[in-house]
């Protein structure tokens, strides 16, 4: 069975290819013409001769079609992570539209789209509510950050292709992916301002997933039976709160300098910032709004029950072990 992977040169993609190779799958990687293959080549050195790497402009439907065959399992991970909304749409939404159309043309066996846990309309949830696959998707994605906006639209493009073309689609929505080389701090903990971390609240549970656990879930999504049409949240067990994570980092003497914004102050301060952004006609960037703060830093619970049930998956690496690996000297330095 042929596995086809986009985004194979990325942080998660390399682990997925590794996992597929370990399982003995034939893997074809579709990489953009501009992609740097050095990290993939380094990480996959033992398997390199068995990996078929094709440089393909992913926004070109015909070029993608040429690389796909009937029955292939397509893992679509390629996406932009940073930049303006237009850049992210160019790197995420437009390639997805072309690639999934090509996948439907080719009648692939399954498409696993790697989306994000950020696509949910969490600002509509109450404090302490549980976020599950039943939680409605973000209805006003343009009010969120550009990355979330692009991922919500990417999912809608995939859903549209599934409805119109019968694409055998499975959507995986990972939480924040961490691991060696990427560290454990994210915007879910706070905002990085130069060398200072503005810590937002602290009681919010961090919806994290260790890169190997996540890659394992994605691999399972390619092969598990009868899950077409499902969307599954992938997060680890025993998730820490932001405060607990920072305490762990402090014990390892890796905690950055922080300024604390208490949870009760996040809303009013965000509102104040948003007001000044508008009042000053954009003299400060509109990166913080009440809506975004509410979506990002509200204390919620997270469930991975459905992923466990449908994929037969469990996060085999505990958070404790994952944290150790991600923050060890070797892990920090590994890029």
Partner 1 sequence: MQPLQQPLRIALIGCGQIADAHLQEIAKLRCARAVAVCDLHRDLAYQAGARFGIEAIYNDHRRMLQEVRPDIVHVTTPAHTHHRLAVELLQHGCHTYVEKPLALNAGEVGEIIAAANASGRMVCVGHDQLFDPAWLECRHRIDSGEIGAVRHVESVLGYPLSGQFGALASSDPGHWVRRLPGGLFHNTISHPLYRITELLPDAEPQIDARWFARNNADFPSDLRVELQGGAVTGSLLFDTAIEPQRITRVYGTQGCLTVDLDAQTVERRRAPKLPGAFGRLETPWRNWRQSARCLRRNVGRFLRSDLHYFAGMRGLIEAFCNAIQAGGPPPIAYTEMRRVTHLMDRIFAEMQPLGVQPVGVQPSGCRTALDSRPPTAVSTT
Question: Alpha helix (H) ranges present in 242-304?
Answer: 242-251, 263-279, 290-297
In whole angstroms, the minimum distance from the beta carbon of 95 to partner 1 comes to 10
In the complex with partner 1, which residue's Cβ is closer, 86 or 328?
86
Residue with tokens 């550009």: 146
Instruction: Note the residues at the interface with partner 1 (CB under 8 A).
Output: 32-34, 36, 57, 83-87, 89-90, 93-94, 97, 141-142, 149-150, 153, 157, 279-283
In whole angstroms, the minimum distance from the beta carbon of 30 to partner 1 comes to 16
What's the Cα-to-Cα distance from 37 to each of 34, 42, 217, 218, 222, rounded to whole Å?
9, 9, 24, 22, 24
In whole angstroms, the minimum distance from the beta carbon of 87 to partner 1 comes to 6
Distance CA 53, CA 117 (A): 29
What tokens does 49 get?
């001769």
In the complex with partner 1, which residue's Cβ is closer, 40 or 93?
93
In the complex with partner 1, which residue's Cβ is closer, 130 or 139?
139
In the complex with partner 1, which residue's Cβ is closer, 50 or 279?
279
In whole angstroms, the minimum distance from the beta carbon of 35 to partner 1 comes to 8
Minimal CA–CA distance to 326: which of 116, 177, 172?
A: 177
Burial class (CB in 10 A: 0-12, 13-18, 19+), 108: buried
In this structure, is the dihedral angle defined by the CA atoms of residues 163, 169, 170 and 174, taken in order, positive or negative? negative
Minimal CA–CA distance to 298: which of 271, 258, 263, 261?
A: 263
Minimal CA–CA distance to 102: which of 76, 78, 75, 67?
A: 67
In the complex with partner 1, which residue's Cβ is closer, 150 or 205?
150
The H or E element containing residue 285 is: none
Q: What is the dihedral of CA 206, 300, 10, 137, to 10 degrees?
A: -170
In whole angstroms, the minimum distance from the beta carbon of 66 to partner 1 comes to 17
In whole angstroms, the minimum distance from the beta carbon of 229 to partner 1 comes to 23
Distance CA 38, CA 267 (A): 44
In whole angstroms, the minimum distance from the beta carbon of 44 to partner 1 comes to 21
Distance CA 174, CA 176 (A): 7
In the complex with partner 1, which residue's Cβ is closer, 36 or 163?
36
Q: How many CB atoms sit inside 10 A of residue 34's CB? A: 7
In the complex with partner 1, which residue's Cβ is closer, 32 or 308?
32
In whole angstroms, the minimum distance from the beta carbon of 90 to partner 1 comes to 6
């Amino acid at each position: 069975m042929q596995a086809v992977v986009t985004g194979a040169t990325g942080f998660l993609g390399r682990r997925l290819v590794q996992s597929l190779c370990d399982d003995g799958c034939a893997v074809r990687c579709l990489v953009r013409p501009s992609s740097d293959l050095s990290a993939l080549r380094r990480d996959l050195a033992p398997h390199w001769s068995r990996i078929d790497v094709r440089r393909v402009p992913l926004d070109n439907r015909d070029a993608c079609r040429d690389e796909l065959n009937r029955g292939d399992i397509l893992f679509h991970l390629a996406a932009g992570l940073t930049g303006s909304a237009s850049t992210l749409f160019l790197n995420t939404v437009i390639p997805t539209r072309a690639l999934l159309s090509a996948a439907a043309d080719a009648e692939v066996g399954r498409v696993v789209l790697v989306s994000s846990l950020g696509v949910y309309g969490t600002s509509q949830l109450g404090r302490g509510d549980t976020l599950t696959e039943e939680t409605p998707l973000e209805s006003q994605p343009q009010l969120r950050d550009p990355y979330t906006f692009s991922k919500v639209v990417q999912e809608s493009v995939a859903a549209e292709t599934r409805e119109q073309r019968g694409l055998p689609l499975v959507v995986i929505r990972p939480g924040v992916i961490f691991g060696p080389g990427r560290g454990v701090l994210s915007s879910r903990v706070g905002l990085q301002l130069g060398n200072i971390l503005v810590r937002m609240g602290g009681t919010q549970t961090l919806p994290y997933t260790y890169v190997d656990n996540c890659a394992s879930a994605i691999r399972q999504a390619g092969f598990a039976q009868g899950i077409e049409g499902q969307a599954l949240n992938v997060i680890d067990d025993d998730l820490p709160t932001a405060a607990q994570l920072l305490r762990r980092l402090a014990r390892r003497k890796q905690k950055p300098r922080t300024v604390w914004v208490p949870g009760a102050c996040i809303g009013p301060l965000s509102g104040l910032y948003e007001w000044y952004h508008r009042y000053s006609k954009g003299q400060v960037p509109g990166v913080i709004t009440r809506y975004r703060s509410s979506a990002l830093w509200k204390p919620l619970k997270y469930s991975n029950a459905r992923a466990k049930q449908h994929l037969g998956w469990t996060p085999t690496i505990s958070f404790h072990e994952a944290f150790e690996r991600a923050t060890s000297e070797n892990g920090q330095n590994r890029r």
